[in-house]
A and B are shown apart, each in its own frame.
Chain A
Amino acid sequence: MSQKPARSLTLFLLLAPAVLWLGLLIVLPHVEILVLSFSERVAPRVYAFGFGNYLEFFTEPLYWRTFARTAIMSIIVTALTLVLAFPIALYIARVAQGRLKAMLLLLCLLPFWVSELVRTLGWMILLRETGIISYTLRAIGLADQPVELLYNDGAVILGLVYGGLLFMIVPLANALESLEPSVVEAGFDLGGSRWTVLRRIVIPHAMPGIVAGSIIVFMLTVGNFATPVLLGGKNGLWFTEQIYAQFITRFNWPQGAAFGMLLLMLSSAIVWAGLRLTGQSLGTTLKQA
């Protein structure tokens, strides 16, 4: 008789940390930000409810252009990461055996022992005007003056792809590992070329992993701050910089909150579109990640 309340108490205690974490750190701040984003400054220190912050976003071209640029660049970064990670994951999952496999995964993980900031600074050391690449190019006579490789879109994409690679490789390798070797062999045996086997067997099998990796990399990229700022400099123009500027530089929290909500909507919309496009459900995708 007394078992039922005891059991529900256990359940409650077990769930409590997760509920608290979700409630206090995720839901509560977002509700706060949502509320904040609808408050307009009508006079110094006087706020009223209104859509002004959102209207501001659409009327000021810098804002929505940065927004669109962030979205498009993030999609490019995600696609590039996928293309780069696929052969690596394929090698780790299907070719490498035993210790080599563990070592390769560790190698992918290794850069993440260093903070993102330091990793990005590492790229700056390589790419800047007085950096190693510039120096080498001059030393072997391919350039006659210092080459500035930083502060352009290429550098930003490079840094973001580098940062996202691991998060693409792991779900992809997981998905590819579960593909039975004899299924691939059957694909060849029945007359399929390498391309046919890849297109009709390997990629469809890896689809949940592809989508999972893409969602993770896309979200990490869209919300990234340090990499575009450091590698892109003034040309970085990432939407997170606008949020930062509103909150910290301009001290316009309601405007920053509105931008934050817009970014959340953007990433949700693109993830939803991606899932629809590939016919995957969020459930199977999360299992793969």
Chain B
Amino acid sequence: MAHSTDLDLVNVIKRFGSHAAVNDVSFSVAPGEFFSILGPSGCGKTTLMRMIAGFENPTSGDIRIRGKSMIGVPANKRPVNMVFQSLALFPMMSVGENVAYGLTCRDVSRAEAEERASRMLERVGLKGFGERRVTALSGGQRQRVAIARCLVLEPTLVLLDEPLGALDLKLREHMKIELKQLQSTFNTTFAYITHDQSEALVMSDRIAVMNQGKFEQVGSPRELYHNPATPFVASFVGETNKWQGEAAAAANGAISVRLPSGTVVQGQGKVADKASLAFVRPEAVALAQDASVLSSLPNRFEGRVSAVLFDGANSSLLIDTAGFDQPVRAVLPQAGPLAGIQVGAPIHVGWTADAMKVFAA
């Protein structure tokens, strides 16, 4: 009977001494979902993954795969396979033997294991590589062997522990797309952990943002990006401007934040009369050489370009703005009239109240 979830964690706690590496985490992953756990290093995500794989035992709580509790089930008996950060291919075996290893552990006959391994290699685009040594492969090919080695076992769940970390940028961008495609063709549930928000945003169906052993927010990449639930999520996922100030309720449900300089900005949020943090995405900051263009925006300021950070489509400006202790960062569209702007040029910036998220500090 099919179960409605592939993986459930229920109030999982893992303590090392008095330190709780994973502190009361609960979540479910649906079949076929690409679920990411995103967090800075040391947030407990690796511990969480190792508990799901069976290399660590939770101090309390339950881990269920298709409804069956995995507590006390050793790693080699779980329907879960892991792609390691270092890939951990077996250097003493050929590519084909690496892929067939798991099958032979299950008492599949040698001939059938070889046959299934070579079919799997064909599916990941490594046809005819079976006889090669793993050391003779490129980074991307090794990656595919590591994934093929898991997928050939048809696991309920594949765990991926920052497998793209060791690759160079160009290959990493390419592998992001390839991983996502592999996952959808095999329709296997993936649980992916990473500290790279771009990897998580590009590939995932849902992301859990983890910090200090707890989940801050679980949601789709868009939800996390546009509606962060906590200041940590707002600053960790994507680029953002961040200012501190005192919040107070303002007209029509908005919140006004008074910055230390006395400047007041309008935003959206739940807090009032408290020390607050205000966040604005760089792409939400409108730029204009003429102040009248921005007249409809509640937040309008005048500044001077202090730096042009050219990065192709990701180019941005740092703008020294009166009243703000740090320069305002704004995306600089390379197709617009401002593309050629120079350091020192005067400029007007503005943003809507909706674009600014205010949280209690």
Interface on A for B, CB 8 Å cutoff? Answer: 180, 182-183, 185-193, 196, 200-201, 204-205
A206 and B84 alpha carbons, distance in the complex (Å) = 22
**How many Å from the CB of B49 to the closest CB on chain A?**
11
The 3 closest A-B pairs by CB, nearest first: A190-B102, A191-B105, A186-B88
Hey, which chain B residues are within 8 Å of A182, CB to CB? 84-86, 88
Residue of A whose beta carbon sits closest to that of B82: A189
A182 and B162 alpha carbons, distance in the complex (Å) = 13
Q: State which of B54, B74, B82 has its C-beta within 8 Å of the C-beta of A186.
A: B82
Hey, which chain B residues are within 8 Å of A191, CB to CB? 76-77, 102, 105-106, 153
Interface string of B278-290 (1 = CB under 8 A from A): 0000000000000
Hey, which chain A residues are within 8 Å of B75, CB to CB? 185, 188-189
A190/B153 in contact, CB under 8 A:
yes
Q: State which of B74, B80, B92, B153 has its C-beta within 8 Å of the C-beta of A201.
A: B92
Hey, which chain A residues are within 8 Å of B93, CB to CB? 200
Query: Given that A188-B75, A190-B150, A191-B76 are contacting pairs, would A201 and B90 also be in contact in the complex, using a CB cutoff of 8 Å?
Result: yes
A193 and B90 alpha carbons, distance in the complex (Å) = 16
Interface string of B32-72 (1 = CB under 8 A from A): 00000000000000000000011100000000000000000
Hey, which chain B residues are within 8 Å of A185, CB to CB? 53, 55, 75, 82, 84, 88
Hey, which chain A residues are within 8 Å of B82, CB to CB? 185-186, 189
A191 and B86 alpha carbons, distance in the complex (Å) = 19
Q: State which of B55, B74, B91, B101 has its C-beta within 8 Å of the C-beta of A190.
A: B101
A187/B81 in contact, CB under 8 A:
no
B88/A204 in contact, CB under 8 A:
no
Q: Does B149 contact A (CB under 8 A)?
A: yes
Hey, which chain B residues are within 8 Å of A188, CB to CB? 55, 74-76
A196 and B74 alpha carbons, distance in the complex (Å) = 15
A193/B105 in contact, CB under 8 A:
yes
B88/A192 in contact, CB under 8 A:
no
**How many Å from the CB of B166 to the closest CB on chain A?**
12
Query: Given that A188-B76, A189-B75, A189-B76 are contacting pairs, would A204 and B92 also be in contact in the complex, using a CB cutoff of 8 Å?
Result: yes
Please classify how large the interface on chain B is, using the bins under 10, 10 to 19, 20 to 34, 35 or more: 20 to 34
**How many Å from the CB of A67 to the closest CB on chain B?**
37
B88/A180 in contact, CB under 8 A:
yes
Residue of A whose beta carbon sits closest to that of B150: A190
**How many Å from the CB of A198 to the closest CB on chain B?**
13
Hey, which chain A residues are within 8 Å of B88, CB to CB? 180, 182-183, 185-186
B86/A192 in contact, CB under 8 A:
no
A187 and B90 alpha carbons, distance in the complex (Å) = 8
A188 and B80 alpha carbons, distance in the complex (Å) = 11
**How many Å from the CB of B80 to the closest CB on chain A?**
8
**How many Å from the CB of A105 to the closest CB on chain B?**
26
A180 and B88 alpha carbons, distance in the complex (Å) = 8
Residue of B whose beta carbon sits closest to that of A201: B90
A201 and B54 alpha carbons, distance in the complex (Å) = 19
A103 and B152 alpha carbons, distance in the complex (Å) = 44
A191 and B150 alpha carbons, distance in the complex (Å) = 10
Interface residues of B in 282-341 (CB under 8 A from A): none
Query: Given that A192-B101, A200-B101, A201-B92 are contacting pairs, would A186 and B76 also be in contact in the complex, using a CB cutoff of 8 Å?
Result: no
**How many Å from the CB of A149 to the closest CB on chain B?**
43
Residue of A whose beta carbon sits closest to that of B75: A188
Hey, which chain A residues are within 8 Å of B106, CB to CB? 191
A41 and B208 alpha carbons, distance in the complex (Å) = 91
**How many Å from the CB of A103 to the closest CB on chain B?**
24
A265 and B338 alpha carbons, distance in the complex (Å) = 85
Query: Given that A182-B86, A201-B90, A205-B92 are contacting pairs, would A190 and B105 also be in contact in the complex, using a CB cutoff of 8 Å?
Result: yes
Interface residues of B in 87-105 (CB under 8 A from A): 88-93, 101-102, 105
A134 and B84 alpha carbons, distance in the complex (Å) = 56
A183 and B149 alpha carbons, distance in the complex (Å) = 13
A192/B92 in contact, CB under 8 A:
no
Please list 20 pairs of residues, one from A and one from B, whose beta carbons are closer than 8 Å in the complex, sorted by A's number.
A180-B86, A180-B88, A182-B86, A185-B84, A186-B88, A186-B90, A189-B53, A189-B55, A189-B80, A189-B81, A190-B102, A190-B149, A192-B76, A192-B101, A192-B102, A196-B105, A200-B90, A200-B93, A200-B101, A201-B92
Hey, which chain A residues are within 8 Å of B53, CB to CB? 185, 189
Query: Given that A191-B153, A201-B90, A201-B92 are contacting pairs, would A186 and B105 also be in contact in the complex, using a CB cutoff of 8 Å?
Result: no
Hey, which chain B residues are within 8 Å of A192, CB to CB? 76, 101-102, 105
Give 13 new A-B contacts, CB below 8 A, not counting A182-B84, A185-B88, A188-B55: A183-B91, A187-B101, A188-B75, A189-B54, A189-B75, A190-B150, A191-B105, A192-B101, A200-B92, A200-B93, A201-B90, A204-B92, A205-B91
**How many Å from the CB of B93 to the closest CB on chain A?**
8
A205 and B92 alpha carbons, distance in the complex (Å) = 7
A190 and B102 alpha carbons, distance in the complex (Å) = 5
A9 and B74 alpha carbons, distance in the complex (Å) = 64
Hey, which chain A residues are within 8 Å of B54, CB to CB? 189
Query: Given that A182-B85, A186-B82 are contacting pairs, would A193 and B76 also be in contact in the complex, using a CB cutoff of 8 Å?
Result: yes
Hey, which chain A residues are within 8 Å of B90, CB to CB? 183, 186-187, 200-201
**How many Å from the CB of B113 to the closest CB on chain A?**
12
A200 and B94 alpha carbons, distance in the complex (Å) = 12
Hey, which chain B residues are within 8 Å of A196, CB to CB? 105
**Interface centre among A185, A186, A196, A204, by most B CB within 10 Å?**
A186
Hey, which chain A residues are within 8 Å of B55, CB to CB? 185, 188-189
**Interface centre among B80, B85, B86, B90, by most A CB within 10 Å?**
B90
